[in-house]
Structure formats: C-alpha cells, structure tokens
Amino acid sequence: MEQVNMIGIDLAKNSFQLHGAGADGSVSFRRKLSRGRVLDFLASQPSCVVAMEACASAHFWGREIGELGHEVRLIPPIYVKPFVKRQKNDTTDAEAIVEAAQRPTMSFVAVKTAEQQAQGMLFRTRDLLVRQRTQTINALRGHLAEFGVVAPQGPAHVTRLAQALEDPTVALPDRVRELGTLLFDRIVALGAEIARLEKELRDCARHDDEAARMMTIPGVGPITAMALQAFAPPMESFRRGRDFSAWLGLVPRQHTTGGKPRLGKVSKMGQRDLRRLLITGAMAVVRHAVRRGETKDSWLAGMLARKPKMLVAVALANRMARIIWALMTRKESYRAPAAA
C-alpha cells in the first residue's frame, strides 16, 4: 500500500467511509468501516492528516483521532460540496473531503473541547426551555381568548390568566379551568428551570476572566459572553475584527463584478445564535439611547439621527463583534469613547 498522506472520513452513525490519498493526491485505499473499527484502523496508520466535515459528532471524533497522533482538520460542509463529483454517495463524499482539505486556501474549524461542548449544551438547553415556555404561554393565551379572557403578551402578564382561572366569577367550564391550570403549572416549572440555568451561566461568567472582560462592552451580558466562549473559535484564528464579524454573518453580502461594488443585506452566513444575541444586545443599547435622548457615543448618535433603529442595531452588532475581537486578542477591557 502506498504511503498515506491524508485520510478523509465521511462520518455517519454506524457506517464510516474512509478515503486514503498519497502525497500526490493518488488513491491509496477506499474502505468502509463500522463505528467500532474506526479508531483501531486509524491507530494502525502512520501519523497523517485526517479530514472530516464539521457536522454532528465531528468534534468528538476529532478529539479521539487527535489523541492517536494524527492532525485533524474539520471542514465546513458547504466548502466540501463543490468537490463532489456527479453522483452523491459515501465514497464520493469521502474523496471530496480529501480534495477540499488539500486546498491551500481552505478554512478549517477548530476542534472543540469537551468543556466547550458542555457549555454549548447548557446554552442550547436554556434556549429550548425558553422556546417551550413561549409556546405554552401562547397556547394558554389563545385558549382563554376563546372564552373572553384576554391578557397582554409576555411572561409578565401570565399571572392575569392564572387569576382568571381561579376567579369563580369568570364564566369558564370546569375542563377549561383544569387544562388551563395544567398549562400554567408547566409555565411556572419552565420558568424555574430557566432561572436556574441562567444563574449557572451568570456564576460561570463571573468567575471567568475572558467573560468578565467581554461583559464590560455595552450590550454584552453573561449569556452572550458564555455563548461566545462556547461557540466562537479562538480569536487568534482571525486576522482582524472584520474577519470575526464576517464569520458571524454581520457584514454586507457582496455581488461585485467589473470593479463595481454592490453591497446588499447582511450575509447571515455565520453562527446564528451568536449573531442573534449580539443583535439583541445592540437593540437594547439602541433603545436605551433613544429613551434617554442622548448618548456619549458620537457614532451611535449620528447613526440614530440618520437611520432606522433596527438598521442601527445591526450595524452596532457588527461594531461590537470587532470590539470583542480586539479585547480578546489584546487582553484588555472596554473603554467607552469620549463624548464629542
């Protein structure tokens, strides 16, 4: 067998397709292995580059394969797709992964540690519970509205619905009171779980130096700071703040040709959870500035005088991403701009 220089793995649940390539790109082997035989096979191979798509379970396999002495490269799936030849199957997918990994300008994804993935699971669990609470509140509001009981939107007004369920003067069937109480108890339980997870996130952020440094930026709270640590790659992997902002999808989409620049809406090409959190935090800063009617930041004041609030919030989120990159790479805290 020819000396293997790179191995591409098409990941799956139980059946893995491997494609070995030599230094010149020639095919060394094509092999299909079960889940339990992958690590034993790779342990028998000389140290080489092992490339995979950055998909489900990729970080787990990246850590396990890295411990065997191989260099692991994770590639975004969207960058592998152009290298798939004609029909799509496991064999051509594994070969396409090798072709993509051999490109000198290819961008790779850093392998996450188990702690980072656990932190990401904490954030996503809280996000799931918040969505479930919102769905349950909307269901309760909708059902009671059919019987003439109306309350404003938002978790803060759910108690009005609970009071209506307990009020004997409100004309509600017994079955409606029973099911409404069931939904309300579910909302209370979800709220308690969300509060517990948020307290854990705040405690983690309070004892983490990088998270504390990020929270000095207006609009960045403990949830955003911990999400950045869980989902963002090392800031040193970006050459400048704009690259990090582009990774988040907060820069305009380009369609430039013939030397004529054409910029559109933000690309939304990056990590959507981080992008959503930064825009939400930026909108809070914008609303605070509008409510007070003044701001020390001359850039923000000028933008609010010319542009709609949502557009300003997205632009501010872009700016916040660049500030985060600068603070993390220089190990500094945020300094507010001097008033003009």
Residue 2: per-residue pLDDT: 64
Instruction: Decide: residue 207, CB within 10 A, 0-12 exposed, 13-18 middle, 19+ buried.
Output: exposed
Residue 175: per-residue pLDDT: 93
Laid out side by side, the sheet with 27-34 consists of: 27-34, 15-21, 6-10, 49-53, 71-75
Angle in degrees, 0-180, between the axes of helices 272-292 and 309-330, rounded to the nearest 10: 110
Q: C-alpha 72: how far from its chain's center?
A: 22
Is the Cβ–Cβ distance between 155 and 184 less than 8 Å?
no
Q: What is the mean pLDDT of each run of 10 residues along the chain (340 residues)?
A: 84 92 88 93 93 93 94 93 90 94 91 91 93 94 90 87 89 91 95 94 88 91 91 89 91 84 82 91 90 78 88 92 92 75
Residue 292: per-residue pLDDT: 79
In sequence order, what E strands does the chain have?
6-10, 15-21, 27-34, 49-53, 71-75, 252-254, 263-266
Residue 3: per-residue pLDDT: 82
Residue 124: per-residue pLDDT: 92
Give the side-chain half-sphere CA count within 13 A for 242: 2
Is the Cβ–Cβ distance between 46 and 54 less than 8 Å?
no
DSSP state of 21: E
The span from the first CA to the last CA of the chain, in angstroms, equals 70
Spatial CB neighbours of 70, under 8 Å, sequence gap ≥ 6? 7, 42, 45, 47, 48, 49, 50
Copy the structure tokens of residue 133: 């609470």
Name the one residue in this structure whose structure tokens are 């994804």: 109
Residue 339: per-residue pLDDT: 57
Copy the structure tokens of residue 89: 């199957």
Give the global pTM: 0.83
Quick one: the chain helix, strand, coil %, rounded to 5? 55, 10, 30
DSSP H or E stretch at residue 281: helix 272-292
Spatial CB neighbours of 185, under 8 Å, sequence gap ≥ 6? none
- Which residues face 19 on adjacent strands? 8, 30
Residue 225: per-residue pLDDT: 92
